[in-house]
Structure 1
Amino acid sequence: MKTDTIVLGAGIVGTSVAHHLAQRGRSVVLVDRRGPGEETSYGNAGLVERASIYPVAFPRKVSALLDVALGRNPAANYHWDALLRLAPWMFAYWRASSPARLLDYARHMETLLAFTVDEHDRLARAAGATHFFRDGGWLKLYRTAAGLDVERSEFPLARSYGLSAREVSVDEALTMEPSLRPVFTGAVIWSDPHSVSSPGGVTQAYAAHFAELGGEVRRGDARTLARLGSGWMVTTEEGPVEAPEVVVALGPWAMDVLRPFGLRLPLEVKRGYHMHYHTEGNAALSRPVLDEEGGYVITPMVGGIRLTTGVEFARRDALKSPVQLDKTEVLARGLFPLGARAEPEPWMGSRPAFPDMLPVIGPAPGQNGMWLAIGHQHLGFTLGPVTGRLLAEMMSGDVPCTDPAPFSADRFR
């Protein structure tokens, strides 16, 4: 089969890229070893995080590093056998987390975040997926005055970008979410983000609409990608597919495909876990709730209340070690009346990340006809549709919606 473009990876990013290319009249085949939205895009807090101008940064204070090293911070875990290989990447991550470079991050990322809510809204309306979305922002809770002080320090920059953050009392937070227990000392409501009740369901709806536009979704192994003259070929269950251009949007598996072509990009993964729970009695949540110092989010999903953990530094394919889930579940039960676990075992996934915390969106260096949309770290679901728009504009020669230069792979040369 011959097509205009092959898109490898049917998560939210790859599906959004395929959708935007099909809207521009291209024939597109979307290839994944599983169905759309069944891997990394399934297991997240479901936030369209318009307000994430500050990233999940590497701790800079010695006390914070000690808390992680000694296992006292439930937001982080690590495998000893992975640290040596990860050390150069983690050092670069630490350097990129300096206060000055975090401001650079915010300046660059805001150029994408400004489009996130509208781009999701456009795709959701076209795909009939608006029923998954809800307003109301998200609520951040703080157990200590010091934690709340750190959050307050972000308000001036947020307001300079037109974002809405408001400190609320414990009583006001309990009015918003009556099922919470007052184990916190303060709270902040961020009104700009939206959230969804099924990230996987949203991705599947976008993929279904892509098919309605004439696109094709196929099962296949992206590692079969090969050069074919001046173009590309990948093998699928229905046979080989050829195209002059290919988009790699494979998240944590991107380097499995890129290394054989000589690409050396500092892409690593930050693993995370989630579990769904029943609730006790009539307890309910209406929005995502972050226990900042507890290191977890609880949010209402179609499968129950989802608890998502922080970061685990480990080899991508190492066995599960959901110690963070066990720790945070105890804290979450103190905050909210969680019932029994709704699943036999926790879900685990990997967040693909570059050390500077920015994604790569654009052409692959030295590989004519190859494009990249990878490394969205904690914001893959948020940034999927705007990434699709930006990359499709670049591939089509249109004026891009924002300057793509900060997201170029050339920054690592």
Structure 2
Amino acid sequence: MPRSAIVLGAGMVGVSVALHLRRRGYDVALLDRQGPGEGASFGNGGLIQREAVYPHPFPRALAELRRIAGNRAVDVSYHPLALPGFVSPLLRYWWNSEPRRYLAAVEAYSRLIATCVDEHLALAAGTEAMPLLRPIGWMRLFGNPALLEAALAQAETAQRDYGVHYAALDTKALAAAEPHLLVERAGAIHWTDPLSVSDPHALTLAYAGMFEAEGGSLGRGDAASLQRTGAGWRVETAAGPVEAAEVVVALGAASDRLTRRFGYAPPTFGKRGYHMHYGLKGNATLHRPILDTDSGFLLAPMRAGIRLTTGAEFARPDAPPSPVQLDRAEPVARSLLPLADRVEATPWMGTRPCTPDMLPIIGPLPRQPGAWCAFGHAHQGLTLGPTTGRMLAEMMLGETPFVSPEPYRPARF
């Protein structure tokens, strides 16, 4: 008899898990309340970030903390009434960002990141997904020469220790690479390894299409209806109940709401983000994604236009959208590039699922045989979806995973 599994959540992580399980002979039902890739996977910078060996730490410099506390920044904002709910996970986040602990997180995180490009290419090669993966990297711009010098020193360390590649651009080289920039910067770091995705939603749909073409079942279902049934699991769907021997929770920022019902309450928290697309005036172009350090947001060329993505917003899960960061960022973005009108009427909003130790949660759900976790990827769900899918599928089959799962085990919380 073939093994069977229900995968809850059809973002990049869930789709990748389902596809890898299907290719290993599982009968798989991939379920979500929405269509594939319509959650947090829909809105991001569209980068497969091979260079991202350093996860985002909690700021520890007093000047940086004062800047954020003022709640006027482009890259970070918060709802004051929501802060009590963030106190515990953010304190743990701060504690884990202490330099020695952070270095341990980097060592574990970098092992996942090292695989990300290869794992995406392994899924996309020879399919309609391949043209979506552009090998153009992305650039980080610096107006302050001292910050550029420090960033170049860290880039050299990342290249030496973790095998990433970059090119240093001075003012003249940056102007030649992106001739339609409206400002002069001291220089830039061009990270050359990452893939730039022209349409992240289309990429998730392409992987979901492979899953269906290979015999997987994709449907609409309510994860809140999950319950044990005999030795397996049952979920209500639009087409009726679905049962399987195993279940994978890949619901992103909503995962802990489900796992709490089964005795597992990890200290996860959400960072909300927004994006908007713009046209460009005249014959202006943007050749690759750019992040302007002075401004703190990313501009990326996409199928739909130039995507402006915001930083992190801390709000209650049920709070209505409040795209104040986008309102702050847009005038600055217009000073960087000759942006035309907005493409959409309203901004997109999504929530990144974060953990206080900056590592995803991948592995068996504690005290629940046959249940598995695949969430908590923060800013790197798009990047690490295929890596997570392969690792978890190998674990579920009792194989030795191609990356040691020990640092990401759910039981650490």
Return the TM-score normalized by structure 2.
0.97
Partner of residue 84, structure 2: 84
Shift of 1:184: 2.1
- Give the conservation status (yes or no) of the 8 Å contact 1:147–1:293: no
Aligned residue for 1:74, secondary structure, equals coil
Identity percentage over the alignment? 48
Give a deviation string over 1:290-314, Cα, whole Å, max 9, x none. 1123110000111110000101111
Corresponding residue of 2:158: 158
Name the stretch that deviates more: 348-357 or 285-294: 285-294
Change (3 A) 1:316 1:230: same
Distance 1:97 1:149 in 2: 23
1:228-263 per-position Cα deviation (integer Å, ceiling 9, x unaligned): 112100000000000110000000111221111121
Mean Cα deviation higher: 271-280 or 163-172 = 163-172
Q: Distance in 2 between matches of 1:372 and 1:43?
A: 22
Give 2:192's aligned residue: 191
The question of whether the paired residues in 2 share the 8 Å contact of 1:127 and 1:206 is answered with no
Q: Secondary structure at the match of 2:115?
A: helix
Q: Give, in whole Å, the separation in 2 of the partners of 1:24 and 1:142.
A: 46
User: Are 2:182 and 1:172 equivalent residues in the alignment?
Assistant: no
Matching of residue 348 in structure 1 with residue 349 in structure 2: yes
- Distance in 1, matches of 2:261 and 2:268, equals 15
- Name the SS of the counterpart of 2:291 in structure 1: strand
Aligned mates of 1:40, 1:249 — CA distance in 2: 12
Query: Partner of 2:129 in structure 1?
Result: 129
- Which position in structure 1 is the counterpart of 2:280? 279
SS at match of 2:125: helix
Match of 1:14 in 2: 14
Measured after TM superposition, the shift of residue 183 of structure 1 is 3.5
Instruction: For residue 101 of structure 1, report the CA deviation from its aligned partner.
Output: 2.2
Q: Which residue of 1 aligns with 2:95?
A: 95
1:12-411 correspondence to structure 2 within 5 Å? 12-125=12-125, 127-159=127-159, 160-411=161-412
What secondary structure does 2:228 align onto? Answer: strand
Cα deviation digits, residues 151-208 of structure 1 (max 9, x gap): 1241243122111123211211121111112342221111111111011100000000
CA contact (8 A) 2:249 2:374 kept: yes
- Residue 146 to residue 88, structure 1, CA distance change in 2 (3 Å): farther
Partner Cα separation in structure 2 for residue 344 and residue 282 of structure 1? 24
Aligned residue identity for 1:334: S
The answer as to whether partners of 2:55 and 2:109 remain within 8 angstroms in 1 is no
Aligned length: 411
Name the SS for the 2:196 alignment partner. strand
The 8 Å contact of residues 68 and 77 in structure 1, kept in 2 or not, is answered as yes
CA distance in 2, matches of 1:35, 1:22: 19
Bigger drift between 162-171 and 61-70 goes to 162-171
Contact 1:183 1:335 in 2 (8 A): no
> Counterparts of 1:360 and 1:384 in 2: how far apart (Å)?
12
Superposition deviation, residue 73 in structure 1: 2.7
Query: One-letter code of the match for 2:331?
Result: V
1:19·1:388 contact (CA, 8 Å) conserved in 2? yes
Deviates more, 1:103-112 or 1:301-310: 103-112
User: What is the letter of the counterpart of residue 410 of structure 1?
Assistant: A
1:387 is displaced (CA, Å) by 0.3
- Do the aligned partners of 2:8 and 2:31 also contact (CA within 8 Å) in 1? yes
Q: Which moved more, 1:147-156 or 1:172-181?
A: 147-156
Deviation by residue 1:202-226 (Cα, 9 ceiling, x = unmatched): 0000000100110010101111101
TM-score normalised according to structure 1 size: 0.97
CA distance in 1 between counterparts of 2:403 and 2:270 reads: 27
Read off the aligned partner of 2:327 and give its amino acid letter: D
The whole-number CA distance in structure 2 between the counterparts of 1:130 and 1:286 is: 19
Is the contact made by 2:227 and 2:234 (CA closer than 8 Å) also made in structure 1?
yes
Task: For residue 68 of structure 1, report the CA deviation from its aligned partner.
Answer: 0.7
C-alpha distance in 2 between matches for 1:236 and 1:140 = 44
| Alpha-carbon distance, 1:3 to partner | 7.2
State the 1:72 CA deviation: 4.2
Q: Residues 7 and 249 of structure 1 are in contact (CA less than 8 Å); yes or no, is this contact kept in structure 2? A: yes
Tell me, yes or no, if the aligned pair for 2:395 and 2:401 is still in contact at 8 Å: yes
What is the identity, as a one-letter code, of the residue corresponding to 1:138? W
Q: Please give the alpha-carbon distance, in whole angstroms, between the structure 2 residues aligned to 1:86 and 1:126.
A: 44
The alpha carbon displacement at 1:53 in A equals 1.0
C-alpha deviations, 1:297-339, integer Å up to 9, x for none? Answer: 0001111100001011111221111111111111111111111
Give the 3 Å change call, closer, same or farther, for CA 73–183 of structure 1 in structure 2.
farther
Structure 1 residue 148, shift from structure 2 partner:
1.6
Give the gaps of 5 or more residues in structure 1: none
Q: Contact 2:28–2:217 at 8 Å: present in 1 too?
A: yes
Q: Distance in 1 between matches of 2:53 and 2:250?
A: 23
Contact 1:353–1:375 under 8 Å retained in 2: yes
Please state whether the residue corresponding to 2:147 is helix, strand or coil: helix
The AA in structure 2 aligned to 1:69 is A
Q: Aligned partners of 2:137 and 2:109: how far apart in 1?
A: 19
Aligned-pair CA distance for 1:126: 5.3
1:147 deviates by 2.6
Question: Partner amino acid for 1:63?
Answer: A
Q: Distance in 2 between matches of 1:328 and 1:155?
A: 26
Report the CA distance between 1:85 and its aligned residue. 1.4
* Preserved CA contact (<8 Å) 1:3 1:29: no
The answer as to whether partners of 2:54 and 2:110 remain within 8 angstroms in 1 is no
Q: What do residues 111-168 of structure 1 show as CA deviations (whole Å, max 9, x unaligned)?
A: 1111100110111125421111111211000122243234124124312211112321
My pick for the range that moved more, 319-328 or 209-218, is: 319-328
